[in-house]
Amino acid sequence: MRLQGKTAIITGAAAGIGAASALLFAKEGANIVAVDIDRELVLRLSEQIEKNGGKSLAAVADVSHKDQVESVLRATLAKFGRVDILFNNAGIVPTGKLEDLSEQEWDRAVAINLKSIYLLCHAVIPTMKSQGAGVILNTASATALRAVPDRACYTATKAAIIGLTKSLALDYVRDNIRVNCICPGTTETPSLTQRLGAFPDPAEARKNFIARQPMGRFGTAEEIAEAALYLVSPQAAFVTGVAFPVDGGLSI
Amino acid sequence: MNLDFSGKVAIVTGGAMGIGGATVRRLAGLGASVAIFDIDDQAGRKTAALITNAGGTCDFFPCDVATGAEVSRAVEEVARKFGHIDILVSNAGIQLYGDAVTTTEDDWDKLMGINLKGCFLVSKSVVPHLLKRGGAIVIVGSVQSMTAISNSAAYVTSKHGLLGLTRAMSLDYAGRGIRVNCVCPGTIDTPMLRWAANLSDDPGKVIETCNHMHPVGRIGKPEEVADAIAYLASPMASFITGAALLVDGGMLVPAGGMGFQGSGTGAATHK
């Protein structure tokens, strides 16, 4: 088991890439702190992990709020005593061109997608430093490498995450903390289903979304979770500061 | 083709000094009517006066780019005064140092508000005007839009974000007559750099290190960045959109930085 004895905090853990990663990391022996704003879903996920024989703590929190992030860390240390892995995965996808995007939508997306990473790292890094090691993984996006239409705010936050990833990698390389990000392409998740559902003809929209995929299909949450597992595992000990596309060639 | 901005109206945010000030002077010198957006009232008025005294057209609009209401009011004033808007140079920015732990939440919010959200807010107000007759946006990023320097978590993050916003907007408006590009300067001799150097006990040594970091052996001048901005804003760049143009004296070329070039692999084979 590649994560035996490790404790991993995963944000946005209730569904999609977060949930698939939580299940996979748990299978590899990690204690999981599943963080999400959706109480019902995150409790269900946590139960599932326990049922599979793993250890899990469900933490209901809005990761854009400092006090809630700090209480996640306190609960983590109280239950598991350490934090080895921080997977900043929580995010939302505001859509539309910039002129149609309200200031409130901009602020909310920047708070959830970007500031949450600052808040979690700010809280967790001192613990990782005192432990002498740690791994941080952030979820950016293939859109940060190549733009797609109607995602101005989303793309700005995701490109900024790559910048933050490189900064953190450099600042903490001597503290034995590795920091990387994954850049998923369009992935089959509840979030995608919701976005497609917003189109007048969801089936047509799905066809159009698939048409732009070089591989002719979406990724699965499990495929992204495998990339996440690699980057947080000891097998990636020499990898830090990278933006790793897992996108079926979308960014080519 | 010559660079001629006669009849064009340009907004330059952070236009009072540094790269913004040089851009204001360059665009006005090439015939544009230029609107300076800045929070520094005194410096903004002084730069505008220098240009009008020399026969150019320039006006100062006090504006905090992080505040949506101030931005939309200033943009509408420009449109009223000059009749239309053709060019936006989104340049306003601040620098703060700190890693993810030592950066306070207030500092993070302040820097993101000016550097990243400020660009969003100004673009949001200016784009509807640019859609009327076509136009160009030039965003001032940084070499730190692509790489990082230590202890600058918020700044690096904001500059990466600006490159994302450049690409996103370039795509959204590519078919509608607006080009959006990003210039990525290396170290430039500006008041911001002097401020940063003066945080050290030996500012001269900091500047010397900066000089050495660039393969050309020196830091850049604000005017050299202003020239790149003028090019990207001009019809000479009519087929360029979504691009990131390095103006960095070769800074990002050497693997391992300039130190490695003197003593790393390959160094011993210098003839």
Nearest-10 Cα torsion for A181, A185, A190, A194: 120
Q: Is B98 left (phi over 0), alpha (psi -120 to 50) or beta?
A: left
Residue B233 identity (one-letter amino acid): A
Q: Do A241 and B148 touch (CB under 8 A)?
A: yes
Task: Give the chain B residue nearest A164 (alpha carbons).
Answer: B157
Neighbouring-strand partners of residue A56: A32
Give the closest of B123, B156, B162 to A167, CB-based.
Answer: B156
First to last CA, chain B: 43
Name the band, by pLDDT with cuts 50, 70 and 90, for residue B271.
low
Nearest-angstrom CA–CA distance, B22 and B210 = 21
What mean pLDDT is predicted for residues A158-165?
97
Q: What is the residue whose two structure tokens read 């393969």?
A: B215
Residue B206 contacts by C-beta under 8 Å, 6 or more apart in sequence?
Answer: B196, B197, B200
Q: Per residue in B148-187, pLDDT tens?
A: 999 999 999 999 999 999 999 999 999 899 999 999 999 9
Record: contact B103-A151, CB cut-off 8 A: no
Q: Domain ranges in chain B?
A: 9-185+223-246, 187-219
Question: What is the CATH code of the structural domain delimited by B9-185+223-246?
Answer: 3.40.50.720
**Least CB-CB distance to B153: which of A106, A159, A167?**
A167
Q: What stretches of chain B show up as alpha helix (H) in DSSP?
A: 18-29, 41-53, 68-82, 105-112, 118-133, 153-172, 191-197, 203-213, 222-233, 257-263
Q: What is the Cα–Cα distance from A29 to A43, expressed in whole angstroms?
A: 19
Amino acid symbol at A252: I
Integer CA distances (angstroms), B243 to B26, B101, B120, B138, in order: 21, 33, 18, 10
Scanning A12-71 for CB atoms below 8 A from B yields 66
A81 vs A33, A74, A119, B38, CA distance in Å? Answer: 12, 9, 20, 49
CB-CB contact of B24 with B12 (8 Å)? yes
> What per-residue confidence (pLDDT) applies to B256?
78
Q: Is B97 a catalytic residue?
A: no
Nearest CA in chain A to B126: A99
Fold of the domain spanning A7-187+221-246: Rossmann fold (3.40.50)
Closest CA of chain A from B142, distance in Å: 11
* Bridge partners for A180 per DSSP: A137
pLDDT for the residue numbered A118: 98
Distance CA B137, CA B160 (A): 17
Strands B244-247 and B87-90, bridge-based pairing? unpaired
Contact between chains at B148 and A161 (C-beta distance less than 8 A):
no
Query: Taking 70 as the threshold, does the pLDDT of residue B3 lie above it?
Result: yes
Using an 8 Å CB-CB cutoff, list chain A residues near B242: 147
Please give the pLDDT value at position A213.
Answer: 86
Is B162 part of the contact surface with chain A (CB cutoff 8 Å)? yes
Residues of chain B with pLDDT > 70: what percent? 99
Phi and psi angles of residue B40, each rounded to the nearest 5 degrees, phi first: -90, 95
Tell me which chain B residue has its CA closest to the CA of residue A65. Answer: B105
pLDDT at position B2:
66
Q: Do B156 and A164 touch (CB under 8 A)?
A: yes
A81 phi and psi, to 5 degrees? 80, -5
Residue tagged active-site, from A118, A154, A172, A230: A154
The CA distance from B50 to the nearest CA of chain A, in Å, is 34
Q: Would you tell me which residues 168-227 of chain B have a C-beta closer than 8 angstroms to some C-beta of chain A?
A: 168-173
Average pLDDT over residues A97-106: 95
Percent of chain B with pLDDT over 90: 89
Q: Encode pLDDT of A206-221 as tens digits.
A: 999 998 888 889 999 9
Q: What share of chain B is helix, strand, coil (3-state, %, to 5)?
A: 50, 15, 35
Indicate the pLDDT class of residue B62, thresholds 50, 70 and 90.
very high
Residue type, B6: S
Q: Is B69 touching A (CB cutoff 8 A)?
A: no
A163, B127: Cβ pair inside 8 Å?
no
A159 contacts on B by Cβ (under 8 Å): 160-161, 163-165, 167
Position B254 confidence tier, pLDDT thresholds 50, 70, 90:
confident
Interface test with A, best of B90, B137, B165, B182 (most A CBs within 10 A): B165
DSSP SS3 for B141: coil
List B97, B155, B173, B231, catalytic entry: B155
Structure-block tokens of residue A119? 């808040």
Which of B162, B163, B169 is opposite residue A98, by nearest beta carbon? B169
R_g of chain B, CA atoms, integer Å:
19
pTM: 0.85
Amino acid at position B269, single letter: T
pLDDT: is B63 or B254 the higher one?
B63
pLDDT of residue B257: 81
Smallest CA–CA distance, residue A170 to chain B, in Å, is 6
Decide if A163 and B159 are in contact by the 8 Å CB cutoff: yes
Kindly list the residues from chain A whose CB atom is less than 8 angstroms away from the CB atom of residue B170: 147
Whether B261 shows a pLDDT value over 90: the answer reads: no
A167 and B167 within 8 Å at the Cβ level: the answer is no
Distance from the A88 Cα atom to the nearest Cα atom in chain B, whole angstroms: 14
Nearest to A97 among B108, B172, B242 (CB): B172
Q: How confident is the model at residue B78 (pLDDT cuts 50, 70, 90)?
A: very high
Contact flag B157-A160 (C-beta cutoff 8 Å): yes
Query: Smallest CA–CA separation between B46 and chain A, in Å?
Result: 32
**How many other C-beta atoms can be found within 10 angstroms of the C-beta atom of residue B80?**
8
Question: Chain B, 103-142: which have a CB under 8 Å from a chain A CB?
Answer: 103, 105, 108-109, 112, 116-117, 120-121, 123-124, 127-128
- Look at the block and give the residue holding tokens 């993810």: B100
Residue pLDDT, tens place only, B113-136: 999 999 999 999 999 999 999 999
Dist CA B124 CA B128 (whole Å)? 8
Q: Torsion angle, CA of B93/B98/B102/B108, rounded to 10 degrees? A: 20
ipTM beyond cut 0.85: no
Cβ–Cβ under 8 Å, residues A187 and A219: yes
Mean residue pLDDT of chain B comes to 95
Using one digit for the tens of pLDDT, what is the confidence trace for A23-53? 999 999 999 999 999 999 999 999 999 999 9
Least confident of B51-55, B75-79, B245-249, B264-268: B264-268
Q: Chain B contacts of A110, Cβ < 8 Å?
A: 112, 116-117
